[in-house]
Amino acid sequence: MHRIRSCRWRELRSFGWGVRPLLQNARQPRLVQVNEAAALARRYHSPADDLDHPKPKVSAPRRLPYDWEEQKLVTEEERQSVEEQKAVVEEQRQLSEEQRIVAEEQKHVVRRHPPRPMKLRYVKVHGRAHETSKPPEKPKTLSKSRQRHQGLKGIMVAKKLSSDFICFKEGSDKPAPITPEDESMLSTAQQYFGEAYQELYSASRLSEHAINTAVPEVALIGAMGTRKATFINGLFGLPDNYGVDSLHDEVIKMTMYGVNFPVGSQYGKGLPIMSRPPNGFILADTPEYALIKRPSWGKEVVNYLEKRENLKGAILLLSLSKPFREMDRWVLRHLAHKRVNTSVILTGAQYFPKRWEEVAAERARRVRQEMIRLDVRLDNGWVRNSGWMPDIHVVAPGMEFQPSIGNGGGLGGARKAILELAGFDLTKPFQKDVSVRGSLDHVVSFNTPEA
């Protein structure tokens, strides 16, 4: 061990040391080795010293890893071979460990009963007995609750629910009977919806809607769980789960359906609608207002109800399987404030096969009382028959699909209510347009599928 002062001046000078760093290190009362002093000298080395003392350019040798077991340097080739050997050894170790675990598990398996041979059964095929190892399949029987949730099937079908027209009029607790005039209107409404329809466009904002100055529009509003997608499929005579996506669109959109629109027309491209097609109208499918907690839903749908010029009315769907909630009252109150013609349709009657009349009559009475209260309190022109419709229709969407469009489950009354809001006169005969196709297409719903 030597102090810094004991180092020779020439040796330190050869490493590029100056006087000042030497004196600074000399003041420190610690001892350093000669090689440490050389390392400190390299730190103060400057490029100018290379000019005074040129050195031969020699490439520094690459530092190789050191094998502590063999006490020697390991070259690159030897290093790769060693790593490969280690990888092979590790794989063999893992394989042996897995085999050991499997063997231990098999030792602890106790077979209580040996496998029994499957009994042979004999079935008659063309009058002869043949051996088979497969037992005969039993017919599947659904429970009553399952039949109830699948819709109007089997013994759960109520005869009155299969009626074309289920309407509770004011002051009555029983469905109104169908008159000859109603039958004529139902037939006309069925012809309207029996023609073609197409999805025009989808919009998440009011600015994305196409300009419409000719075709009437009817908004379809409903909470989550009202089976709105099934209701739309029922209007066009499609199965209840037809076209319902299993994923919910993150961007809540409003879908516009054109009923009786010509095939390949400009209306399907989102262009301005300046001329009215014969017997054509637009059905606007809005997102469920249970998502009103999202500010985007409330803002855009409220803007649509306020500023859409050709909006003729709104259909409010209420589920009989859910109570009349405050959110339903809020939507009804907003429609009354904006003086939007409103017709209420009750859904889910198939969930009460034995007492659906009692449940529907009570709900219709409460909803009608709420509309009367809003009529009296607001006094803004939203009155009976010109603002809110006293007739409340009941539907049972989800009934068994039939090849042709039908009015069962109260869907005929729902079609009649929609067309009356759109401003059509159902007393006049329906004139079919040859430019409109007769086949039905796919219904796309942006709502969450019902459970």
Residue 33: count other Cβ atoms within 10 Å of its Cβ. Answer: 10
Instruction: Provide the CATH number for the domain around residue 318.
Output: 3.40.50.300
**CA–CA separation, 7 and 1 (whole Å):** 11
Query: Is 21 in the same domain as 169?
Result: no
Indicate whether 443 belongs to any domain.
Answer: no
Indicate whether 366 belongs to any domain.
Answer: yes
Domain count, the chain: 2
- Residues of the domain holding 11: 4-52
Indicate whether 31 belongs to any domain.
Answer: yes
The answer for residues whose C-beta is within 8 angstroms of residue 116's C-beta and 6 or more apart is: none
Query: What is the C-alpha radius of gyration for the chain, rounded to an integer number of angstroms?
Result: 42
Indicate whether 256 belongs to any domain.
Answer: yes
The answer for residues whose C-beta is within 8 angstroms of residue 340's C-beta and 6 or more apart is: 219, 305, 311, 313, 314
Query: Is 316 in the same domain as 170?
Result: yes
Query: Is 345 in the same domain as 213?
Result: yes
Indicate whether 209 belongs to any domain.
Answer: yes
Two tokens at 450?
Answer: 């019902």
Query: Is 297 in the same domain as 186?
Result: yes
**CA–CA separation, 399 and 379 (whole Å):** 41
Q: What are the pLDDT tens digits along the chain (451 aa)?
A: 445 555 555 555 555 555 555 555 555 555 545 556 556 555 555 555 555 555 555 555 555 555 555 556 656 555 667 777 788 788 888 888 888 888 887 766 555 555 555 554 444 444 454 444 455 555 556 565 555 555 444 334 456 677 888 999 998 889 999 888 988 888 888 888 876 677 888 888 888 888 887 788 999 998 887 888 888 888 887 766 555 544 344 447 888 888 876 554 444 444 455 555 656 789 999 988 765 455 566 788 888 998 898 899 999 999 998 899 888 998 999 999 999 999 999 998 888 878 889 999 999 999 999 999 999 999 889 999 989 999 999 998 765 444 445 567 888 899 999 999 988 888 877 665 444 333 333 332 223 233 3
Indicate whether 331 belongs to any domain.
Answer: yes
Query: Is 42 in the same domain as 153?
Result: no
Give the model's pLDDT for residue 63. Answer: 55
Indicate whether 440 belongs to any domain.
Answer: no
Two tokens at 25?
Answer: 């290190």
The answer to whether the predicted template modeling score (pTM) of the entire model surpasses 0.75 is no
CB–CB of 312/215 below 8 Å?
no
Query: Is 244 in the same domain as 393?
Result: yes
- Torsion angle of the four alpha carbons 231, 320, 415, 292, in this order, in degrees rounded to the nearest 10: -60
Indicate whether 47 belongs to any domain.
Answer: yes
Query: Is 153 in the same domain as 43?
Result: no
**CA–CA separation, 144 and 210 (whole Å):** 47
